[in-house]
Structure 1
Amino acid sequence: MSDRLPGFSTLAVHAGAQPDPTTGARATPIYQTTSFVFNDADHAASLFGLQAFGNIYTRIGNPTNAVLEERVAALEGGTAALAVASGHAAQVVVLQQLLQPGDEFIAARKLYGGSINQFTHAFKSFGWNVVWADSDDIASFERAITPRTKAIFIESIANPGGSITDIEAISTVARKAGVPLIVDNTLASPYLIRPIDHGADIVVHSLTKFLGGHGNSLGGIIVDAGTFDWSTGGKYPMLSEPRPEYHGIRLQETFGNFAFAIACRVLGLRDLGPALSPFNAFMILTGIETLPLRMQRHCDNAKAVAEFLAGHPAVASVSYAGLASDKYHQLARKYAPKGAGAVFTFSLKGGYDAGVSLVSKLQLFSHLANVGDTRSLVIHPASTTHSQLDDAAKIKSGAGPDVVRLSIGIEDKEDLIADLEQALGA
């Protein structure tokens, strides 16, 4: 191949992968093994001491997973990546490297309901404290900064409402505060938005969603942008201070611009243990090969469905940044010119009861708690994914009682519209 940089679709198929050197297999094999044989005692010692790269135990790394990691890092424009068992696991592993008990991180209120619950409740047992900010009010992030702030967390396209976040503006706040910006890019995928290009230092995904794309495998991933200086001010001792488990190695000093990915692997994944199975890595790799084709179809279908709903008399409002009338439309044009994603919400004039009723009448849409499938999906967040929140918090997160969330698949758009039409009419 020439010296030109491969395009996105080429990377989605080829990045990280080579024919198997032993068998010649062209598809990446599933290395379904727990452990790997060392060449000799010195080789084993060098692997355990972080003096050489290689495979030890599948909880820490696996050749199938390594291809997935390299591919997503290439698609996102990062220096390295680490695959884990789920998107939630990715968030735990990331923040474990950054926070000590009593530390804070700032998060946008418009987040997936499971993340809100994780940040508000589960992380309290670690002594990690979340401070909420409004992604529509950039100054609210500045006001939330304290000496204990160690990170800012946002979603590029917010779940469930599909609003577009001004990544560059929030990155400016993070830079000024000297803390990394973490961006959950699940709903956009790197096909629509590459947060690192806009100032993100760390990107996380639920691989379960659009990257895998077929609703058959759980997974998560952490991408290191290689842009943050972890030695500044002694804020991040996991990376800047000598690690006693590795004979005093300073990860920032030793591994440079991929030190964070290494820390997540050898300090997080090794000890917390949320390993991704090689079989799931294989399934997700297969899904990524068609990511560009699927995402464009998802977006085209979503726009058509949103336009239909916007004109329906039973619908009070539609929140989809792909509509010219939407408040986030200009941000969508800036950050996601190929499409505003496939997940959005709409409000019904009949309120909570109408939302519950609608999901039971749809026939082609599957009623379940997931997004990013080839199939179109529907859920009423107020009674499911965001049910743990009070009404005020539901509304702030974009999941009010009258709201229905759709994840638009790759079916014929006419069939999706017909299904919605019959259910709304009923």
Structure 2
Amino acid sequence: MTAQTATPRSLPRPTQPALLPPVAREARYGFTTQQVHAGADTGPVGHGDRVAPIHVSAGFRFEDPDTAAARFSGEADGFVYSRIANPTTAALERRLAALEGGADALVVGSGQAAITTALLGLLQSGDHLLASDHLYEGSRGLFSENFARFGIEVDFVEDHADPAAWRRLLRPTTRALFAESLSNPRNEVLDVAAVAGVAHAHGVPLVVDNTLATPYLLRPLEHGADVVVHSASKFLSGHGTALGGVVVVGRGFDWGAHDDGGAPRFPQLSEPSAVLGGRSWADLHGERCYAEHARHHVAARFGPVLSPFNAFLVQQGVETLSLRMAQHCRSAALLAAWLERHPAVERVDHASLASSPSHQRARRYLPRGSGAVLAVTLRGGAPAARRFIGALELFSHMTHLGDVRSLVVHPASTTHAHRTEAERERAGVHPGTVRLSVGIEDVEDLQADLRRALDAA
């Protein structure tokens, strides 16, 4: 048996530095202090390095056969193989868990990998996933096409602001609810507490994609969510240089719960496993069983590994997250208000605006700002959108968001091109809609760039 090819009967844990303050202690600090210091490696692995070093090693040496056996039996902490854990990625996991207020975190190779890992830790053939209809297109395609091939059924809730709409689509086989805290591209705010209440009344977890909000604007776990995922490639990294994803697991959900018929809702976590010598993940890890199962049985098996170099880049970005997000949000709100008044603009979707159906939820959930992504619909339709994008100079035309640079894309012909016209209309994607991701440039310069483009449109 080799570490490369076998899931160990053990669950070797990433080394936790002896002097690492627990998340509960770190919570006494402000967010910006935590984004710089939380989870810092002060123990023997890092040798006191002020900046987490890049550990570019596929595997890790054992001091002796007893140490190797102890790590594989779960009796000792330590690193085994970078597909499971690496000191650089572990440092990033500790920091992101602290920033989201979670009990544990797992970083993977992309945001799409984070969603896949999180949900495949919960779902199996015959199960049902209930998701918001207002999703990133990659997530929607993953659920409706790829998960369908695994025998997982999915329904999409059109009115995700209405808890009753979620309840109507629940099934006995529903095993998770999924939504975005801020939707892409319409900037709609999820009522996290209300949807979490629906999920918990049915005995299942709520998984929230918090990419567009980031933990600086919203921590869904504090409002009842059970699992949070991010595309770390976006605002967490912030510079458009690295792909990455993270799964953060909260506290308190009963992973060993049974349904009304007495069957376990998550047998993969609560029933004995031959891989674990007849024990279950819940027996071994209690409240942390889902996080351990996702790490060792999903991510390690499917292999969406985050490279240590990308983990380093993401961690560098995280250290300035609050500063960037404050500028992103301030500029986005100013531009949204100005664009809404422009005669060439038919509609602006941004929760900072009083005209937004999400405005009151934004006041409740997003006191620090409503995010940097907005949808702007031009009166001239697709031809106007084409001229508008062609005239921009500071906004880069690309399918990305969350960069320090401002970005623009035409969703109807790119990200949403494979949706039906009715589906695009429901998502707020019209022929004249452009998606803006507002960067950290001087807002006066961005306004001038947009003004020139609107004149051209």
- TM-score range, shorter-chain basis? over 0.9
Deviation at 1:397, TM superposition (A): 2.2
Code of the aligned partner of 2:144 = T
Code of the aligned partner of 1:191 = Y
Verify: 1:239 aligned to 2:264, yes or no. no
Deviates more, 1:280-289 or 1:318-327: 318-327
Who is 2:282 aligned against?
A: 252
Code of the aligned partner of 2:402 = G
Deviation at 1:23, TM superposition (A): 5.2
Q: Residues 289 and 173 (structure 1 numbering): CA distance in 2 closer, same or farther, change over 3 Å?
A: same
Task: Give the alignment of 1:262-281 within 5 angstroms.
Answer: 262-281=292-311
Who is 1:11 aligned against?
A: 34
Code of the aligned partner of 2:439 = G
Verify: 1:154 aligned to 2:189, yes or no. no
Q: Residues 175 and 280 (structure 1 numbering): CA distance in 2 closer, same or farther, change over 3 Å?
A: same
Query: Which whole-Å CA distance do the structure 2 matches of 1:270 and 1:166 have between them?
Result: 33
Q: 1:205 aligns with which of 224, 227, 230?
A: 230
Q: Residues 394 and 49 (structure 1 numbering): CA distance in 2 closer, same or farther, change over 3 Å?
A: farther
Deviation at 1:259, TM superposition (A): 1.8
Q: Is the 8 A contact 2:26 2:34 kept in 1?
A: no
Task: Give the alignment of 1:91-240 within 5 angstroms.
Answer: 91-133=115-157, 134-233=159-258, 234-240=264-270
Who is 2:74 aligned against?
A: 50
Q: Residues 25 and 179 (structure 1 numbering): CA distance in 2 closer, same or farther, change over 3 Å?
A: same
Q: Is the 8 A contact 1:191 1:295 kept in 2?
A: yes
Query: Which whole-Å CA distance do the structure 2 matches of 1:279 and 1:3 have between them?
Result: 26
Q: 2:57 aligns with which of 20, 33, 37?
A: 33
Query: Which whole-Å CA distance do the structure 2 matches of 1:269 and 1:32 have between them?
Result: 19
Code of the aligned partner of 2:367 = P
Q: Is the 8 A contact 2:26 2:98 kept in 1?
A: no
Code of the aligned partner of 1:193 = L
Q: Percent identity?
A: 48
Gaps of 5+ in 1: none
Q: Is the 8 A contact 1:212 1:284 kept in 2?
A: yes
Q: 2:374 aligns with which of 336, 344, 357?
A: 344
Deviation at 1:263, TM superposition (A): 0.9
Number of residue-to-residue matches in the alignment: 426
Deviations 1:131-157 (A, max 9, x none): 111212221110111111000000000
Who is 2:6 aligned against?
A: none
Code of the aligned partner of 2:344 = A
Query: Which whole-Å CA distance do the structure 2 matches of 1:366 and 1:119 have between them?
Result: 30
Q: Residues 351 and 92 (structure 1 numbering): CA distance in 2 closer, same or farther, change over 3 Å?
A: same
Partner SS, residue 81 of structure 1: strand
Q: Residues 23 and 99 (structure 1 numbering): CA distance in 2 closer, same or farther, change over 3 Å?
A: closer
Deviates more, 1:254-263 or 1:55-64: 254-263
Who is 2:314 aligned against?
A: 284
Who is 1:308 aligned against?
A: 338
Q: Residues 137 and 23 (structure 1 numbering): CA distance in 2 closer, same or farther, change over 3 Å?
A: closer
Deviations 1:99-122 (A, max 9, x none): 111211100001111111111112
Q: 2:106 aligns with which of 82, 99, 110?
A: 82
Q: Is the 8 A contact 2:106 2:247 kept in 1?
A: yes
Who is 2:87 aligned against?
A: 63
Code of the aligned partner of 1:89 = A
Q: Residues 195 and 218 (structure 1 numbering): CA distance in 2 closer, same or farther, change over 3 Å?
A: same
Q: Residues 24 and 357 (structure 1 numbering): CA distance in 2 closer, same or farther, change over 3 Å?
A: same
Code of the aligned partner of 1:205 = H
Partner SS, residue 256 of structure 1: helix
Code of the aligned partner of 1:145 = L
Q: Is the 8 A contact 1:49 1:246 kept in 2?
A: no
Q: TM-score, normalised by structure 1?
A: 0.97
Query: Which whole-Å CA distance do the structure 1 matches of 2:26 and 2:439 have between them?
Result: 36
Query: Which whole-Å CA distance do the structure 2 matches of 1:123 and 1:31 have between them?
Result: 34
Query: Which whole-Å CA distance do the structure 2 matches of 1:18 and 1:225 have between them?
Result: 22
Who is 1:357 aligned against?
A: 387
Q: Residues 12 and 102 (structure 1 numbering): CA distance in 2 closer, same or farther, change over 3 Å?
A: same
Task: Give the alignment of 1:317-328 within 5 angstroms.
Answer: 317-328=347-358
Query: Which whole-Å CA distance do the structure 2 matches of 1:60 and 1:18 have between them?
Result: 18
Partner SS, residue 98 of structure 1: coil
Partner SS, residue 275 of structure 1: coil
Q: Is the 8 A contact 1:50 1:246 kept in 2?
A: no
Who is 2:433 aligned against?
A: 403
Deviation at 1:40, TM superposition (A): 2.0
Query: Which whole-Å CA distance do the structure 1 matches of 2:84 and 2:48 have between them?
Result: 26
Partner SS, residue 399 of structure 1: coil
Query: Which whole-Å CA distance do the structure 1 matches of 2:268 and 2:222 have between them?
Result: 26
Deviates more, 1:13-22 or 1:207-216: 13-22
Partner SS, residue 323 of structure 2: helix
Query: Which whole-Å CA distance do the structure 1 matches of 2:156 and 2:108 have between them?
Result: 26
Deviation at 1:169, TM superposition (A): 0.7
Task: Give the alignment of 1:377-416 within 5 angstroms.
Answer: 377-416=407-446
Q: Is the 8 A contact 1:68 1:285 kept in 2?
A: yes
